[in-house]
Structure 1
Amino acid sequence: MRKNLIVATLIAAGILLWLLSGLFGSNDGDRAANPPPLAEAQPRETSREPVAVRARESRAEPRQRTLALRGRTDNKRTVEVRAEITGMVIERPVERGSRVEAGDLLCRVAVDDREVAVAEAEAALKRARIEYEGALKLREMGLQSATAIAQAEAGLAAARATLKREQLNLERTALRAPFAGVVEAVALEIGDYATPGTTCATLLDLDPMLVTARVSAGDAARLEVGAPVRAVTATGRELTATLSFIGNQSDTATRTYALEATLPNPDYLLRSGVPATLEIPTGEVQAHRVSPALFTLDDAGRLGLRTLDRDNRVVFQPIDIIEDGAEGTWVTGLPSVTRIITVGQEFVFDGQRVRVEQDEPMALSARSAR
């Protein structure tokens, strides 16, 4: 028994010594298995040979800042011309797509006995006028009371009102266009029976045309009614408009304000509901034209360019894009004169000293085209 205890004690002591040996051993094996990060093994600032880059000097130019909004075209008015009296439709000279002028006939309801009613009202008015004039002569002779005079005057007024009512009913047999426009839809055919409120035709006012959009509160504060606006439709048509309305009540869901631009459309070629982009000038700024291929992001996710200071150290400059075109992108946020890295910007970091090879003046444009 004592012998077994001694053997067990010796085995335990050996295992303990083997475990403790790892705590006091060299760390070289661990470093070989887990090498330090590259940044620790080779500090950035101790690089012997500076990275070679190419740079281009850029000078700011005055540029008009524009606000781009997505919207759509919208006709100014849409009206459903409705019947005001009952009767059978006997004429409808327009079809869908017809262009009409103000006052043109859209539908005509049968006259029936309305002309007879007008003639009867005219005769009643003539009689009432004679009775009133006779009452006035009798008053001059002292043979007519004031009550009779008032009664004759009231009869004359009633006859005039009846005639006017019958004339209006006769005029209402013709449903006419309230303004110039295009017939979008027709609802009555010849032989249909119209009642008060029945739609004859739907009329669109396409001249002038509106381009509607939504704008944020910050942008709305920088805009003024009457400013020129450039509109580009989804079909590629470029139009010149005038800012005609900026809303004063924000939408409860989007917190944006309604905006309208008005443009002439005398030929009616521009249709309602076409997607369009509004470009509204908001002021002049100093901007640089650069290739979008040079854009990069910093650690915070900001869009910018890598530039060089006087000591040829890399400086990240955040930018704002104000205009994008085929010849390049106009940006703000850079000094008026700055050197932009055009080749090698992907391999350098902020604060690094580099070796500069100056770019040719047209090199950036040539690479952008490629």
Structure 2
Amino acid sequence: MRFFSIITAIVVTLALYLIVFERDRLLSFASGETPNTEAAIESEPAEPQAPASAQAADADAERVVSIVAMRSTEQAIDNAVLLRGRTQAARQVDVRAETSGLVQTEPLRKGAYVEKGQLLCEIQPGTRETLLAEAKAHLPEAKARLPEAEGRVLEAEARLKEATINDNAAKQLSADGFASDIRVAGTQATVQSALAAVETARAGVESARAGIIGAEAAIAAAENEIGYLQIKAPFGGLLETDAAEVGALMQPGGLCATIIQLNPIKLVAFVPETDVAKVKVGARAGGRTTANQTVEGRVTFLSRSSDPETRTFRVEITVNNDDLELRDGQTAEILIGAEGEKAHLIPASSLTLDDHGTLGVQLATSDNRAKFNAITILRDTAEGMWVSGLPKEAAVIITGQEYVTDGVAIETTYAESKS
């Protein structure tokens, strides 16, 4: 009985195999057909295989990326150079003494406004007035010596003329035999003596004139010393320090006070060499301090020589400071106007990089393809980026630009432009 069970199981298994795995052959056998499977397989023509590059192109052609773009039109904008600098007083000077002595005036306190020519410090005169009077007294005496010296010159020249005439007469008589050689020698000696007297008299004239010049120089020196006693403001401005205290001993070079001029005031910055060609003397400029104070002015100086360490160029903008609200040394953000440029206003989020790391944007072309376009950023604002390098009219991809490359097929939806 067990033997028949085994045989039955084998038959059932074989039948299941034929029904499941050899169903086609079983049906052909049941219908009386005997197809030659191998021949059929060999006779079937093989389907042509497309090249791999063609398959990749077909795959790319089938891939369409949905993106969002904005239409942008080129606009003219005022270009500008943005710098960071500081305020600086138009003028600042340490007013110092030129003579010595004790200060005899009450000091002006720092922060006080002084006018040009206002007295800051006055030094006690001491004996300077006496020295001036003495110098002036010597001048008439020195001038009186000059006419006397000039008279001596005239007298000496007359004697020289007389001696010369006598000498010529003696030489003539000696030639005719009417005068001895001793007489001729005597007249020649007289001429030489007269010449010496003339030179001495002329030297006396020069000495008298030198005496006059010396007396005048002494007077000028005494007057200058007296003028040095009063130290005055060279220009109007604010005192940055107290003036010298009364009773303080001043020496030549001693500090009386420090004055700064804050109106007008300067904005000072340093322009990198990449932007120095954009800055022109006379260009409009503005600044904003960290205290949110805004001012406007014009460029009054641009250095022709760069700083040897930073390779930057000093620029100065002069602005009005009538209310003296701006102080020396405040940090300021400076914007200098330059020649206008054509630019597009695009969202900062639309910027991307190509495979070489070049900054740009992806554009949607008229044939629904993506195209990378390199750009240059001109200005960053709250509304977006002002950039150059794009066509006059461009469709900038603002969503999906990271998922496309040059030539990729796109399906474009247009958003409202921000320009």
TM-score by length of 2: 0.68
CA contact (8 A) 1:105 1:176 kept: yes
1:288: which partner in 2?
344
Unaligned runs of 5+ in 1: 1-41, 366-370
Larger strand percent: 1
Q: Say which SS state the counterpart of residue 225 (structure 1) adopts.
A: coil
- In the alignment, the residues of structure 2 paired with residue 306 and residue 99 of structure 1 have an alpha-carbon distance, to the nearest angstrom, of 61
- In the alignment, the residues of structure 2 paired with residue 161 and residue 241 of structure 1 have an alpha-carbon distance, to the nearest angstrom, of 49
Q: 1:163-211 CA distances to partner (integer Å, 9 max, x unpaired)?
A: 1111111111111112222211236311211111111111223233222
**Does residue 191 of structure 2 align to residue 135 of structure 1?**
no
1:103: which partner in 2?
117
**Does residue 135 of structure 2 align to residue 121 of structure 1?**
yes
- In the alignment, the residues of structure 2 paired with residue 98 and residue 85 of structure 1 have an alpha-carbon distance, to the nearest angstrom, of 25
1:246: which partner in 2?
302
2:86: which partner in 1?
72
Structure 1 segment 1-370 matched on structure 2, within 5 A: 45-46=59-60, 48=62, 50-129=64-143, 131-132=144-145, 135=148, 145-186=201-242, 188-361=244-417, 364=418
Using the aligned pairs only, state the percent identity.
34
Post-superposition shift, 1:110? 1.1
Q: 1:30-64 CA distances to partner (integer Å, 9 max, x unpaired)?
A: xxxxxxxxxxxx99944756332222211101112
CA contact (8 A) 1:92 1:106 kept: no
- Opposite residue 139 of structure 2, the aligned amino acid is L
- In the alignment, the residues of structure 2 paired with residue 59 and residue 136 of structure 1 have an alpha-carbon distance, to the nearest angstrom, of 96
Distance 1:267-1:319 versus aligned 2 partners, 3 A rule: same
- In the alignment, the residues of structure 2 paired with residue 207 and residue 135 of structure 1 have an alpha-carbon distance, to the nearest angstrom, of 61
- In the alignment, the residues of structure 1 paired with residue 273 and residue 413 of structure 2 have an alpha-carbon distance, to the nearest angstrom, of 46
2:33: which partner in 1?
none
- Opposite residue 148 of structure 2, the aligned amino acid is A
- Opposite residue 95 of structure 1, the aligned amino acid is R
Unaligned runs of 5+ in 2: 1-55, 158-200
- Opposite residue 135 of structure 1, the aligned amino acid is E
- In the alignment, the residues of structure 1 paired with residue 273 and residue 309 of structure 2 have an alpha-carbon distance, to the nearest angstrom, of 14
- In the alignment, the residues of structure 2 paired with residue 51 and residue 193 of structure 1 have an alpha-carbon distance, to the nearest angstrom, of 88
- Please, which moves more after superposition, 118-127 or 309-318? 118-127
Q: 1:209-262 CA distances to partner (integer Å, 9 max, x unpaired)?
A: 222222233422343322222333332233222222222332222222222222
Post-superposition shift, 1:306? 2.2
- In the alignment, the residues of structure 1 paired with residue 156 and residue 325 of structure 2 have an alpha-carbon distance, to the nearest angstrom, of 74
CA contact (8 A) 1:74 1:212 kept: yes
- In the alignment, the residues of structure 2 paired with residue 43 and residue 188 of structure 1 have an alpha-carbon distance, to the nearest angstrom, of 90
- In the alignment, the residues of structure 2 paired with residue 312 and residue 92 of structure 1 have an alpha-carbon distance, to the nearest angstrom, of 86
Q: 1:320-349 CA distances to partner (integer Å, 9 max, x unpaired)?
A: 221222333211111110111233334444
Distance 1:45-1:89 versus aligned 2 partners, 3 A rule: farther
TM-score by length of 1: 0.77
Q: Say which SS state the counterpart of residue 407 (structure 2) adopts.
A: coil
Number of aligned residue pairs: give it: 322
2:34: which partner in 1?
none
CA contact (8 A) 2:60 2:408 kept: no
CA contact (8 A) 1:93 1:105 kept: no
Q: Find the structure with the greater CA-based Rg.
A: 2
CA contact (8 A) 1:210 1:260 kept: yes
- Opposite residue 102 of structure 2, the aligned amino acid is M
- In the alignment, the residues of structure 2 paired with residue 360 and residue 269 of structure 1 have an alpha-carbon distance, to the nearest angstrom, of 44
- In the alignment, the residues of structure 2 paired with residue 167 and residue 360 of structure 1 have an alpha-carbon distance, to the nearest angstrom, of 82
Distance 1:90-1:356 versus aligned 2 partners, 3 A rule: same
Q: Say which SS state the counterpart of residue 185 (structure 1) adopts.
A: coil
CA contact (8 A) 2:343 2:388 kept: yes
Q: 1:145-166 CA distances to partner (integer Å, 9 max, x unpaired)?
A: 5444443333222221111111
Q: Say which SS state the counterpart of residue 135 (structure 1) adopts.
A: helix
CA contact (8 A) 2:107 2:246 kept: no
CA contact (8 A) 2:363 2:395 kept: yes
Larger helix percent: 2
Post-superposition shift, 1:67? 1.7
Q: Say which SS state the counterpart of residue 93 (structure 2) adopts.
A: strand
